Copies of this chain bind each other. A is one copy, B any other.
Amino acid sequence: MAPICIALDAMGGDFGPSVVLPAALRVVNEHPELQLILVGDADVLRKHLTDLKAVNHPQFIIHHASQHVSMDESPALALRNKKDSSMRVAINLVKENKAQACVSAGNTGALVATARFVLKTVPGVDRPAILARIPTMNAKPVYILDLGANVDSAPDHLLQFAIMGSVYASAVENIERPSLRILNIGLEDIKGNELVKATAQLLPNYPAINYCGYIEADEVFQGKTDIVICDGFVGNVALKASEGTAKLISNFLKIAFRQNLLTRLSGLLAMAVLRVIKKRMDPARYNGASLLGLKGIVIKSHGGTNVLGFSQAIEEAIIEVKKNVPQRITDLVTKLLASSTETIFS
């Protein structure tokens, strides 16, 4: 097995090393080929590793970084003033080919800005996009992008998202011609805003993209399509509306089961079932969003995730390294740019 080396922003996220390091330990134990570079305050990291009895773990390398980016820091300020942050240094390691990917649970805005500045986008891609998996009623998830790296996207950006999403789904999930739809507020041609309508005109020109029309936000969860593309503002709102609704229902359930002795008893009996649902919907299981379109692999973990969630984000990085996602995106985009006709994509 070829060795894989991944840099972790060990100080990022709401819980920093107390989540990142146990997750790192969990993942190396399952992947003997894996080397993890733990980037952050060396003293702090060593202390945490001592507590975990892993200070001399052969698969860990500590890489000191003197600063860290806080969760509410402005991306512009982080970029200018935090040149030795754990986030920046982890991305630098990818740039310098010392790591094949990096994973951070830090501030999304700062991560996107820094990754874009340090790694640059692949030729033909203007802006990186955030892609994530979402659970559906089917066994298979749906991939949605962009989830907030971009706002005020133009149709060309959505075309790039479509290419990147298609490459990702076929590379990572081995789907031969992944179906792709544009998120819209209706299915008829006349529905939608200017962006959606112009993108719908554009996509059929690229037979490499298996464009299947519009999809409404409620249908996304029915597993009818492999990839959904949208502007990052819209995608972020959809994702958070979904998270908010799940929390609302969970809150209603808790209150209802606590009502009286009888409901408490029925709650105890239903516990096993509710745990199954909770597991199936667990954001930790779906943690690890990809920043696609960069000359390097950058995985964004949810800031508030737990050990299982951060482990999942590292696993996502391993898959993208193995599948060589950035190179595949570069290849398809290059083909597209080099071709004067559009038929090569079929």
Interface residues of A (CB under 8 A from B): 72, 74-76, 109, 135-137, 148, 151-152, 183, 185-186, 188, 190-194, 196, 216-222, 230-234, 236-249, 251-253, 256-257, 259, 262-263, 265-267, 269-270, 272-274, 276-277, 280-281
Assess whether A241 is in contact with B266, with CB atoms less than 8 Å apart: no
Q: A140 to nearest B CB, angstroms?
A: 14
Can you offer 28 A-B residue contacts whose CB atoms are under 8 A?
Answer: A72-B188, A75-B190, A109-B186, A109-B190, A136-B248, A137-B251, A148-B185, A185-B237, A185-B240, A192-B233, A196-B233, A216-B240, A217-B236, A217-B239, A217-B240, A220-B244, A221-B247, A221-B248, A230-B237, A234-B237, A239-B241, A242-B245, A252-B281, A256-B274, A256-B277, A263-B273, A265-B269, A267-B270
Q: A248 CB to closest chain B CB, in angstroms?
A: 4
Whether A193 pairs with B248 at a CB distance below 8 angstroms is no
A249 and chain B: residue at smallest CB distance? B249
- Verify A183–B237 contact, CB threshold 8 A: yes
A239→B266 CA distance, assembly (Å): 32
Q: Are B74 and A188 in contact (CB under 8 A)?
A: yes
Closest chain-B Cβ to A183's Cβ sits at a distance in Å of 7
- Contact yes or no, B217 A237, CB < 8 A: yes
